Amino acid sequence: MPWECSATCGGGIGTRSRICFDPDVCEGPEEERGSCNTQPCPKLQEEDKEKILADIRKHLLSTHQNFQLQKDESVTVPCKGSLKNTIDKLYPNSKATWLQNGDKIYSGYKRKVINENQDLQIKNAMPEDNGFFTCVLHLTAKSLVTVSLSTVTVQNDKPDMLVEVGSPFSLFCNGVIFSRVFPTMLLQKWYHNSTLIREFKDSKLEDENELYFESSDYSDSGIWVCKIVEINSQSRGKAREWVTNVIRVQVINPPPLIMRLLPYVIGISAGLMLIIIFGCLYVKRAKRKFKEKLAKETGKDRKTEVSTHSKESKKGKKSKDGRK
């Protein structure tokens, strides 16, 4: 098969595969990789590259992609967006890699990368789909660029967290990556049932990613939402905000005393049972050894008695013979 190159110039990764009609004589890998189109790009195209990279950066810092879903809803997260035509023209063989919270996403039934535009389709969203989604384009073998940043949050219809009243617990915002991307000031806000509870004003996102409760109360039950809000923004008149995590918390009664003691009772009972079992085995073994020992001693006594009786019989016989 002919080579397929990821770039028309400036260096790319070429791949080609082969079709084998006789497996018995075919050896080696089915696919071969190597460098291709290493010739320099025309000057005009170099200028176009610089422009598209600047446009991507501008697009990244100005767009706002925040998807708030209910459980089992579906969503398509865009990758190239309004830059699709420009990117496809200059880099027709570019490939996209999607990341969730920094981890690579593999295409499957539930999550699928659409070949036409590299968008990410999420079907029947679940709470584990919460996170920060990043689309990274491989323009050439040596050129990677992030073109899309999006947040997806899924509100569960069941509690995500069960907390016993009086127990400590923590909620995480998952907004650390924002401070690594956006140059503007960012503010972390926590809401409880739509009411603002706390703001982290004088700290960085990487320093405050956790909302900690020393002791839970029944009033802590409900839906907790963390938002990252842009302040002093120069890209838009209205500040952008992203929902980075949604947690449904339910504070429950502590179990009755008997239930709390039950593990200890079970542990003690199991220990006693083991002691009894091993004790019975020990006694049984001791009895068996005692019986074996007694049998041996009884056997010896019988042999001694038989021997003595035999000697006495012989003596009696001799004495009778002497009298005759």
Does residue 49 sit in the same domain as residue 152?
Answer: yes
Question: Bridge partners of 138?
Answer: 95, 144
Point out the domain boundary residue: 103, 128, 156. Answer: 156
Residue 298 placed within a domain: no
Burial class (CB in 10 A: 0-12, 13-18, 19+), 15: middle
Residue 78 above 90 pLDDT?
yes
255, 287, 319 - which closes a domain = 255
Q: Is the pLDDT of residue 186 over 70?
A: yes
Select from 49, 152, 147 the least CA-distant residue to 96: 147
Specify if 307 maps to a domain: no
What is the number of domains present in the chain? 3
274 found inside a domain: no
Question: Which range of residues forms the domain containing residue 224?
Answer: 158-255
Give a yes or no: residue 86 inside a domain. Answer: yes
Mark whether 152 and 189 lie in a shared domain: no
Rounded to 10 degrees, the C-alpha dihedral 192/198/201/204 comes to -70
116 shares its domain with 77: yes
- Looking at the domain assignment, is residue 276 inside a domain? no
Domain shared by 152 and 52, yes or no: yes
Boundary (domain end) residue, out of 156, 191, 223: 156
The 10s digit of each residue's pLDDT in 260-304 is 666 777 878 888 888 888 888 888 888 888 777 777 777 665 656
What is this structure's pTM? 0.61
Span 217-245, pLDDT tens digits? 999 999 999 998 887 655 555 678 899 99
Is the pLDDT at 208 greater than 60? The verdict is yes
Is 84 within the bounds of a domain? yes
What is the CATH classification number for the domain harbouring 126?
2.60.40.10
Q: In this structure, are 109 and 15 located in the same domain?
A: no
Of residues 117 and 222, the one with the higher pLDDT is 222
Across residues 12-24, what is the average pLDDT?
68
